[in-house]
Structures are given as C-alpha cells and as structure tokens.
Structure 1
Amino acid sequence: MSEVLVLVDHVAGTVKKPTYELLTLAGRLGEPSAVFIGGTDAGQTVADAVKAYGAEKVYVIDDTDIRDHLVAPKAEALQQLAAGKDLAAILLPSTAENKEIAGRLAVKFGSGLITDAVDLEADGTATQSVFAGSHTLTAKVTTGIPVITVKPNSAAPEKSAGAGAVTPFAVTISEAARSARIEDSRPRAATGRPELTEAAIVVSGGRGTGGGFGPVEDLADALGAAVGASRAAVDSGWMPHTLQVGQTGKTVSPQLYVAAGISGAIQHRAGMQTSKTIVAVNKDEEAPIFDMVDFGVVGDLHTVLPALTEDINNLKS
C-alpha cells in the first residue's frame, strides 16, 4: 500500500485537530504517515498523539535550520523526504503558509496541485467548494504525486490505531531557501478561548454590532466558545483578520454557530455553512442569514445577547 504523507499542524509540539482530520482522510488513500517538523524532543509526544488516528510512521524533522525562516525550507524538507517514495499523496492543512508550501512542492515534483479540498475519495478524487460555496466540483491530480491542501473541519477525525513508529529524518537546507529570515516574532495574547477553527461553539459578530463586540464576547465566554467576525467587522477595524469567518477568512464547522448582526452574505456563508446548528440574531427580518438557520431571532443583538448570557450564567451557577 502506498504511503500518504500528512504534515502535522502543531503549536510547540501540541498537535492540532486538522492533523487528525487529514490522517482520517489519508487512510482512504493509503497508509498514513505523519511528518512532524519541530523540536526532536517533542517527536515521541507527537507520535503518541497521531498514532491513535492511524499514523503508521512519524517522520521527525529537526527544525533547527527551519524555524527562523519562511516557507522555502519546509518545502525543501518535504521534497527530500518524499523523494524516492511510493506516495499516494501529500496532504497539508489548508493554511496560507501551507498552500505556499504545497505550491512549491508541486513545482519541484512537476505534480498537480489541489487546494482547499473539503473531501477526498479513495481514488484520490477531491471535492472543492468554490465561488463562495455556490458551486461544488471534483478534481483529481493526473500527473506526479498529488499535493492536496484540505480545509479544516472538512472531516470528522476517526480513531484507528497505527504503529506510530518514530523515524528521524535529516534534511539539508540550501542557502537559497534560507535567504529570507524571520527577525522577530511575538506570540498572540492569550484569550483563554478555544482556537476558532477547532471550537465546538463559535459566536460571531458582524456590522450589526456597530463595533461593540462586548455582548458577542460575553456570550462566547459564557458558552466556552470561540469568537468570530464577519468581513465587514474586520474591514471596519473592529476585529483582527485572524478572527474572520468566510471565503477570505477561516472555515469553521462547529456544533453550534451563533451569528449576531451578520446579514449572511454569500462570502460569510462559505465559511460557516457546514455548522451543525446555526442560530442568527438580526434586526432585519429579511436578512439572508435567516434562509439557512435552524433558529432565528429578530431583534437587537445588544438586547438579546446580554439576556441570553445572563440566563446561561444563571443556569451555570
């Protein structure tokens, strides 16, 4: 059975949910193998996590010569690891950085590239949601090793015991790949809330907040939820782009999605339409968001959300 390489998405060795999703999809295509680029001391910890989702091998690549540079060294590392292997595909979580890595890999191998897939079949056929989710298409790489990036929350992680054999892999990074260097970085301030793309509950605010995200954040904290924002809220400077949900933001698929003051433009719907239960609060009863919700409240979010937050906190006390 051919190997499928899955690039591990992690923070300081803590594996993130999209990795488990990709390992589940990789199991449809062949034998899943995880690729961890990070500190070698975290290799076994990562292996213990990913083997529960089917990883037979865990390639550990020391990031000493990689971590302070941009994407080129990672692309070279994956190229060297993949060289000479019988691979069914290389899968990466669909982030801005990984899509650039995937593009570089495809060029290096002369392979076809598929980005932002939302599903994979056993024969390698990928499903993509395009034009802000208004169309669905299928595509398949016919030349070289398929390089595919997959949107987070596209598959439910399924546990499947794998060997998780740790295999250190040494790489040689060229000077050209190290020509761009990261001189400084600062960690994002911790909010205590879950990561947006991994949260089971998301509360998002839009233009209707008028820039006052207090009620949205209070409700999110009461529910143990992540906070999201529409493009209108981000473009207005009310919230950072890292919290934008939509076609040009992040794709979420939580168990519960609360849209407060969001009209429901197709750009936003593309990022949250696969949520299991959708609740909307909007003053405009004709807002397009109401066409796709499970529960809708016509009212002022600045009145509705605080009342809901108070009730939730009372139930918790």
Structure 2
Amino acid sequence: METIEKLFSFINENAVKIEEEKELTYLDSVLEVLNAWLDGDKIPTGKVATKEDIRKAIQLSILKGMRENAQPNHQMTPDALGLLVGYFVEQFMDNKKTEGSKISILDPAVGTGNLLLTVMNLLEDRVEGVGVEVDELLIQLAAASADLTEQPIALFRQDALQNLMINPADAIVCDLPVGYYPNDDVAKDFELKAAEGMTYAHHLFIEQSLKYSKDGGYLFFLVPENIFESEQAQGLYKYLQQTAWIQAVIQLPDSLFSNKAHAKSLFILQKKSADGKPVKEVLLAKVPSMTNKQALEMFFAKVQIWKKEQK
C-alpha cells in the first residue's frame, strides 16, 4: 500500500497544480500528469512499482476526478468486481494457456481501461487486449494507463455498436453500459432491436460482443441483476438460446453496490461452435461478503467442484 499511496500522491499533487495553473478539470490534469510520466518529463521517485501498483494508483486518481465532476458515462468498475471477473476468466481460459498462443481479450466498453487492465494483470504475459470507447478523455486515460503498465492493448475510439475493424477475440469482458441506446439507425440492424420504442444498450452490447468473439469463445458480462425481468427480456433469452450456451450466473454481494437497484451479476456465456457443447449444469451461485474469508474460500471451492464435474 505504501508504494500505491506514494504513486497516488505523485499523480494527485501534480494534477492539482496543473488544475490550478491551466484551469483544467482534475481528470484532464491527471491525463497530463500521466503523459508527462510516459515522456519522462516528470516521473515518481522511490522503488520500482508493479503493474498492479501503477494501475491502482491511477485508478484512485481517476476515481477522485469522477467524484469531483460526475458524468453519467464516467464510471469505473470497482477492483473487487474486476478481480472476480479476472478469476473466472482464468478458470474458463486455462485450456488456452497450454496452447502457447496469447489470449485475445476484448472490452467493447473499455472506459478508462480499469476492468481490462485488472484482468490482464492477473493473466500476466499470456494476453493481449483490445478496447473500444467513444469518450475521448476516457480512452486517452486508458491509453496512458496501458502504456504505464506496459500492457499490449489496441484501443479504438468509436461507438462500439457500429461496425468494428477488429478480429474476433478469444474472450470478451465488459461491464455493460445500462440504459436505452439513443441511435435507432444503428439499433435497427440488430436482432435484439426492440419491437417498439428504444432498445436496451446492454442487450445490443451482448449481441455485438457475440458477433466479435470467436466460435467457442467465452464472454464475461457484468449485467443488471434483473436483466431477465424487463419487458425486452424474452427477446434476449430467445436470442441467447440460438447463439450461446449459458455457463454461469453469479450473483454479486449487495454490499458492493450503494443502491440495491444498481446491483449486478456476473453472466458468463460461451459462443456456440460446431465442436462444442453446453455444460452439464449451469453454475448458479452467490458470492458471499468479500470480507468473509471462510465463506469466500467455500465459494471458490464450489466453483472448482463445478468445473471438475463439467469435465
């Protein structure tokens, strides 16, 4: 923690100076600090930091900026959720580790890159990332974070629901943007377009992600807990029956969310393939409180038992 605190202080103190001198927002100032660090104009002193130290220090700085100037599209996936997603990516992609080639991971709503970088840091040098983000400031922060943590991520600034110039990925990770998608001209080309009114963006992101994942690829979504209770849920379920095999539905602790209405689950899919098959039993589980070490150990043991039974 001492290294993370020192890195955060370095970023924060310099960002505050830039904020005052140039009359920029705090987040824009953080970006300037990160770019100066990359260019070698101003670098932190002290012992060499790990990739995780750097990511966490940058995360703290960005969170401070988001709290000071809250915007609906400026949100970050908390570390606890990122680490859980990373754990399940490891469990489902372990067969790819033995093949020698790198695992490609796409986040179609990459934001500042925190979720993707958390997963990549866990998998270490076995992965290469791709991120898509429409917000210019967020993707610049993601680029600086990726460079400082020396992670190979290709970033594309565009609406992720339009045509993407990327290769299908081995895995998708995404904290799905929740709400209605405003561009009906784009939505009309999706199978999950609502029969009436506006379409849920999180449904369209699921369809787009399946389009850009390899056959047999795995998809790890943070979804609204009530995703199958909405008026558009029947169409989503029908579409998934045709295109994917549900692997797991993991309910997340209420304590991770400030409001029960914003609670999420981890929804894991596998894109159907000619040589694949569905799991014998879908993993249905609830993650206990993250502070209850014994209960967490039992939860992870249950996941391992389920994994062995599927083989």
TM-score (norm 2): 0.31
Greater percentage in strand: 1
TM-score (norm 1): 0.30
> Could you say which structure has the larger radius of gyration?
1
The structure whose RCO (Cα within 8 Å, separation 6+) is larger is 1
